[in-house]
Amino acid sequence: MVIRENKAAAPEIAEENTRAKILNAAGEVFAEQGFEGATVRAITERAGVNVAAVNYHFRDKAELYTRVVVDACSVRAAFREAIAEGTDSPEERLRSLIHRFLEYLLDPNRPGWKRRLMAREMANPTTALDELVKNNIQPFRDEFLIPTLRQLTGGCFSRRQLGYIGSSIMGQCLYFLQSRPIIERLVPDFKIDKSDITEIADHITRFSLAAIAELTRQARRS
C-alpha cells in the first residue's frame, strides 16, 4: 500500500508541472493584457508548453482565466486568522485591521501579477469579484471593521454613518492598489516594499483615528 501511495503521487507532480507553468504564465499575461487581449499562444509560449495544453488541462480559455483570477484574489490563510485575532483596544484593533488589509492588497512577496489582476478584476468584474467580495472584503468590513468603528465611536453614529466612515478607511487603503498607475505618474520612482506598507498603514491609521476621535467629540458635544 505504501508503494502504491508513492506511485499515485508521482504523476500528480508531473501533471502539476505543465499545469502550474500554464497558471503562472497565464497570470502574468492576463494581468498585462486582460482576458481578451491575452492569447492562448502568448500564454503557452511564455509557459514553454504547447498551445493544445490549455485545452488539455482546462476546459477552455475562460476556465483558465477564472481559475487564475480566483487564485489571485483568494485570501491568504494568514489574513483571515490575523484579522480574527483579538487585540487589546479598539484603537489597536483598527491599526491591526488596516495593516492586515494593506498587506493583503499589497503584499510585495506575492507575484506582482496577482496584485495587478486583482486590480483589474475590481475594475472589470467577472464572477471572481463576487467571490472576492463575499469571502474577503465583506467579512473584513462587516465582521471586523464596522464593529470596531462602532466601539471606537461609542454608539454616536448611525449604521449609515458608520458605513461612510468604513468606506473612508477602505478607500484610503484601496487607493494604493487601484490608483497605482496614477500614483506612479504623480510620484516618480514610487514603489512599495515592506516598510512602505507599514508607513502607509501607520498614516492611514493615524489619519483615521484622528478623524474618528474628532468626529466623536463633535457628536458628543451636540
Binding residues for a second copy, rule: CB under 8 A, are 33-37, 119-120, 122-125, 129-130, 133-134, 137-138, 141, 161, 163-165, 167-168, 170-176, 178-179, 181-183, 185-187, 200, 203-204, 206-208, 210-215, 218
User: Between residues 18 and 133, which has the closer beta carbon with respect to a second copy?
Assistant: 133
The one among 55, 89, 167, 218 contacting DNA by CB under 7 A: 55
Decide if residue 40 touches DNA (CB under 7 A): yes
What 8-state DSSP symbol labels residue 110?
S
- CA–CA gap between residue 94 and residue 88 (Å, rounded): 11
Report, in Å, the least distance between residue 210 CB and a second copy. 4
Decide if residue 29 touches DNA (CB under 7 A): no
The one among 52, 78, 84, 211 contacting DNA by CB under 7 A: 52
3-state DSSP call for residue 187? Answer: coil
- CA–CA gap between residue 127 and residue 111 (Å, rounded): 22
Decide if residue 17 touches DNA (CB under 7 A): yes
User: Between residues 54 and 197, which has the closer beta carbon with respect to DNA?
Assistant: 54
User: Between residues 57 and 115, which has the closer beta carbon with respect to a second copy?
Assistant: 115
Amino acid of residue 206: R
User: Between residues 17 and 124, which has the closer beta carbon with respect to DNA?
Assistant: 17
Decide if residue 138 touches DNA (CB under 7 A): no
DSSP assignment string, 134-169: IIIIHHIIIIIIHHHHHHHHTT-S-HHHHHHHHHHH
- CB-based burial of residue 149 (10 Å sphere; 0-12 exposed, 13-18 middle, 19+ buried)? buried
C-alpha cell at 10: 508521482
Partner that binds at residue 7, options DNA, a second copy, none, CB closer than 5 to 8 Å by kind: DNA
Report, in Å, the least distance between residue 19 CB and DNA. 7
Decide if residue 14 touches DNA (CB under 7 A): yes
Decide if residue 218 touches DNA (CB under 7 A): no
- Long-range pairs of 64-67 with CB within 8 A, sequence gap ≥ 24: 64/22, 64/23, 64/26, 65/26, 65/30, 65/35, 65/126, 66/126, 66/127, 66/128, 67/23
Q: What are the residues whose beta carbons fall under 8 Å from the beta carbon of 204, sequence distance 6 or more?
A: 98, 102, 169, 172, 173
Binding site for DNA (CB under 7 A): 3-4, 6-8, 10-11, 14-15, 17-18, 38-41, 49-57, 60-62
